[in-house]
Structure 1
Amino acid sequence: MSGAHFAFTDRWGGVSAAPYEELNLGGAVGDDPRAVRTNRELAAKALGLHPGRVIWMNQVHGRDVAVADGPWEAGDTPPVDGVVTARRGLALAVLTADCTPVLLADPVVGVAGAAHAGRPGLLAGVVPAAVRAMTALGADPARIIARSGPSICGRCYEVPESMRAEVAAAEPAAYATTSWGTPAVDVAAGVRTQLERLGVTNLGQSTVCTLESADHFSYRREKSTGRLASYVWLEES
């Protein structure tokens, strides 16, 4: 894929104890920080990455996007839901446990992006904001490769009718119905349409529903649980 790499974790292969077992990569869910640190090292090394070259976000369900030129200073992780970089070899990471992780790469100019898109992020437009931040660094939407990772599907993400109406008014493609016939939201479908509207056509979406899969963390299923990570990076020249 022209030097672009995308990776998505499941919940196995780490050291965290219940209810975060095993490969919890989220540092703000109540898990032992030492276990999280070990898990992040294990995941990075399994991907051939240096743990110190992985960029994390302090995710807040907003639309702000940060530009990363290198690792953040200790204690200075920005409160954003999108991050972009023009540095090859720097990996961008998104934490989720039902929300949709969106990974983006333009391998021609060496620009990558990552976004955390839950229902609030879909409404706020965090994914379009990430694409615009990438284009400011020289990326072309027509060249961008987009991949979304495991997330709760539209057949399972039940919401009140008023909430579905609110989301559908902003993004009609996110209108959904559960498999049992109640109102739902399909965040991944909404994100896909937002990307298509911006001219991104190289799209790929995970078929894994986190609520249905016992191999993945799901906040809606378990409440107290770990976080998956999705990574994007470009090979260094």
Structure 2
Amino acid sequence: MFWWREQVDDGLWVGFTDSTAGNLALHVGDDPGTVGRHRRALESALGIGDGGLRFMNQVHSANVGTARPMEPTEGPAELDALVAPGGDVPLGVMVADCLPVVFTANTGHGYATGVAHAGRRGLLDGVLVNTVRRLESAGGSGLRAWIGPAICGRCYEVPAAMQEEATAALPELRSETSWGTPALDLPAAAAAQLASMDVAVHRVDACTLEHPQLFSYRRDHATGRFAGLVWTEA
């Protein structure tokens, strides 16, 4: 079920699922009942109640929402990042090549947590920057981020014009595929951007295209989504 998970502080966990957890997304044509069973099984493994895990309607934006217990998510209906100022809402971000980034921050009363979905467009538009700012505005300090499995710089081939446009904004994106064509390195650029904001970065390196245990849209357009997660033990 888990590609990787770790208890990063007392009662505070971060992790990333793999394909054995099943597809967790409702927007990819899968049977809703099957997706619901996958989500409930995951919530059981996390030790949280059915329906407790908060997901987003992701659209490759830079929008950040706010999650609080027993309340609807605050912010636009379409989000690509979500912050729990009290660290008391289990959060999930769904991906299948884009970056799943999970955040924690210290506050005077515990933790603030967050998740973000960072593809090429979201990364360039500032979804990670906006998430860091939201965590800081919630009183967070000592920010940490875990960059999960995503398509790597050796595999993310793009047209040369797209590479030039992207790297003009974020030079760390520049890469080359293993077969010698223009590429983008999303994990490297995200790590550099976060480090520039004094966020301690941890990378869980695995290429989604290269590992069949991870969903990859580039490998198979008819695919599911795995999740990056942050939660606290009950």
Q: What is the SS of the residue equivalent to 2:219? A: helix
Matched residue SS, 2:155: coil
CA distance in 1, matches of 2:203, 2:56: 22
C-alpha deviation, 1:184, in angstroms: 0.3
Amino acid corresponding to residue 89 of structure 1 in structure 2? D
Q: Runs ≥4 in structure 1, deviation > 3 angstroms?
A: 71-74
Name the CA distance, whole Å, in 2 between partners of 1:79 and 1:51: 23
Q: What is the distance in 2 between the residues matched to 1:205 and 1:136?
A: 25
Q: CA 1:119–1:60 in structure 2 vs 1: closer, same or farther (change >3 Å)? A: same
Which amino acid is 1:6 matched to?
V
- Residue 54 of structure 1 contacts residue 71 of structure 1 at CA under 8 Å; is this kept in 2? no
Alignment of 1:89-168 (within 5 A): 89-108=88-107, 109-140=110-141, 143-168=142-167
1:120, distance to aligned residue in structure 2 (A): 0.5
Q: Tell me, yes or no, if structure 1 residue 8 matches structure 2 residue 7.
A: no
1:20 aligned residue: none
Change (3 A) 1:71 1:149: farther
Q: Which moved more, 1:79-88 or 1:64-73?
A: 64-73
Higher strand share: 2
Separation of aligned partners in 2, 1:203 and 1:222? 30
Per-residue CA deviations over 1:194-229 (Å, capped at 9, x if unaligned) read 1011111x2111221000001011000000110001
- Write the distance in 1 (CA, Å) between the matches of 2:176 and 2:209: 15
C-alpha contact 2:47 2:233 (8 A) present in aligned 1: no
What is the rounded CA distance, in whole Å, between the counterparts of 2:61 and 2:122 in structure 1?
Answer: 5
Percent identity of paired positions between Structure 1 and Structure 2: 41
Please give the alpha-carbon distance, in whole angstroms, between the structure 2 residues aligned to 1:121 and 1:57: 14
Q: State whether structure 2 residue 206 is matched by structure 1 residue 199.
A: no
Unaligned runs of 5+ in 1: 14-22
Which one is further off, 119-128 or 42-51?
A: 42-51
Whole-angstrom distance in 1 between the partners of 2:43 and 2:63? 25
Aligned length: 223
Per the TM alignment, residue 86 of structure 1 is displaced from its structure 2 partner at its CA by: 1.8
Task: After superposition, give the CA deviation of every residue in 1:82-125 in whole Å (9 maximum; x if it has no partner).
Answer: 11012333111100000000000014441001100000111101
CA 1:72–1:29: 2 relative to 1, 3 Å: farther
1:211 to 199, 209, 212: 209
Contact 1:153-1:186 at 8 Å conserved across structures:
yes
Aligned to 2:185: 186
Distance 2:85 2:144 in 1: 15
Q: Deviations over 1:158-183 (max 9, x none)?
A: 00001111110111111110011100
Aligned residue in 2 for 1:68: 67
User: Are residues 1:30 and 2:38 paired?
Assistant: no
Q: Which runs of 5+ in 2 are unaligned?
A: 1-7
TM-score normalised to the size of structure 2? 0.90
- Asked whether the equivalents of residues 25 and 225 of structure 2 are also in contact (C-alpha less than 8 Å), the reply is yes
Compared CA separation, residues 38 and 52, structure 1 to 2 (3 A) = same
Match of 2:5 in 1: none
2:218 partner SS: helix
Contact kept? 1:62, 1:126, Cα under 8 Å: yes
Using the size of structure 1 for normalisation, the TM-score is 0.89
**1:93–1:230 CA contact under 8 A, matched in 2:** yes
Contact 2:56 2:93 in 1 (8 A): yes
Which SS does the other structure have where 2:19 is aligned?
A: coil
Q: Find the aligned partners of 1:95 and 1:161 in 2 and give their Cα distance.
A: 28
Residues 58 and 80, structure 1, Cα contact 8 Å, conserved in 2? yes
